[in-house]
Structure 1
Amino acid sequence: MTWRTNSLKLGCPMHRSDTGNPTPFPSRLDQSTSTPSSCPVKSPNHPLRYQTSESSSQTQSSERKTLQSSSSTLSRLNPLNYMPSLSNSRPADSPQSINLPLDRELSSIPRNDSESNWEYPSPQQMYNAMLRKGYTDTPAEDVEAMVAVHNFLNEGAWAEIEEWERIFSGGLWKGWETCSRGEQAISLDRARQEYAAQRRLALGLTPDPQEDESKPKLIRFQGRPQEPSPKARILQMLGKVFPDYFSQEPPFDRHDWYVSRKLRNGSTKEVRYVIDYYGGGVEQETGQPVFYLDIRPALDTPTAAVERAMRWGGDVWHRASGGAAREAAARTQEKENGS
Structure 2
Amino acid sequence: MSGCPVDHGERKGDAGGCPADHGQSLRAFAGQPPAMNPHNNMPLTPEQHGNNGLSTERTVSSIPRADRYEAAGPSECPAVDNAKEMWVYPSEQMFFNAMRRKNWDPQAPDMKTVVPIHNTVNEECWRQILEWEKRHASACGTPKLLRFEGKAKQMTPKARLRSLVGYQPPFDRHDWTVDRCGTRVTYVIDFYEGRRDPSNPHKPSFFLDVRPALTAAGAWDRVCRFFGS
**Alpha-carbon spacing, 1:297–1:83, altered in 2? closer, same or farther (3 Å):** farther
Partner of 1:219: 146
- Answer yes or no: is 1:313 the counterpart of 2:227: yes
Quote the offset at 1:169 in angstroms. 4.3
Choose which of 91, 116, 120 in structure 2 pairs with 1:122.
91
Quote the offset at 1:87 in angstroms. 1.6
Letter in 2 for 1:281: R
**3-state SS of the aligned residue for 1:159?**
helix
- Answer yes or no: is 1:85 the counterpart of 2:6: no
Partner of 1:109: 63
**Alpha-carbon spacing, 1:310–1:76, altered in 2? closer, same or farther (3 Å):** closer
Letter in 2 for 1:254: R
Preserved CA contact (<8 Å) 1:83 1:121: no
Quote the offset at 1:127 in angstroms. 0.8
CA distance in 2, matches of 1:278, 1:219: 24
TM-score where L is the length of structure 2:
0.73
Quote the offset at 1:77 in angstroms. 2.9
The within-5 A match list for 1:44-55 is none
- Answer yes or no: is 1:271 the counterpart of 2:198: no
TM-score where L is the length of structure 1:
0.50
Structure number with greater CO (CA < 8 Å, separation at least 6) is 1
Structure 1 residue ranges without an equivalent (≥5): 1-73, 92-97, 172-212, 240-247, 263-267, 316-339
| Number of aligned residue pairs | 180
The within-5 A match list for 1:283-302 is 283-287=197-201, 288-300=203-215, 302=216
Choose which of 117, 130, 135 in structure 2 pairs with 1:149.
117
Preserved CA contact (<8 Å) 2:193 2:207: yes
The within-5 A match list for 1:180-219 is 214-219=141-146
Quote the offset at 1:154 in angstroms. 0.2
Partner of 1:256: 175
**3-state SS of the aligned residue for 1:289?**
coil
Quote the offset at 1:166 in angstroms. 1.6
**3-state SS of the aligned residue for 1:236?**
helix
Structure 2 residue ranges without an equivalent (≥5): 9-39, 68-81
**Alpha-carbon spacing, 1:215–1:83, altered in 2? closer, same or farther (3 Å):** farther
Preserved CA contact (<8 Å) 2:66 2:145: yes
Preserved CA contact (<8 Å) 1:222 1:256: yes
CA distance in 2, matches of 1:305, 1:77: 26
**Alpha-carbon spacing, 1:154–1:167, altered in 2? closer, same or farther (3 Å):** same
CA distance in 2, matches of 1:279, 1:306: 28
What does the per-residue CA deviation read over 1:204-232, in whole Å, with 9 as the maximum and x for residues that have no partner?
A: xxxxxxxxx72100000100001111110
Quote the offset at 1:84 in angstroms. 4.3
- Answer yes or no: is 1:168 the counterpart of 2:82: no
**3-state SS of the aligned residue for 1:108?**
strand
**3-state SS of the aligned residue for 2:165?**
helix
What does the per-residue CA deviation read over 1:271-328, in whole Å, with 9 as the maximum and x for residues that have no partner?
A: 000000000131112222221000000012x12101101101227xxxxxxxxxxxxx
Preserved CA contact (<8 Å) 1:78 1:150: no
Quote the offset at 1:107 in angstroms. 0.5
**Alpha-carbon spacing, 1:83–1:167, altered in 2? closer, same or farther (3 Å):** farther
Q: Identity rate of aligned residues, in percent?
A: 41
The within-5 A match list for 1:53-64 is none
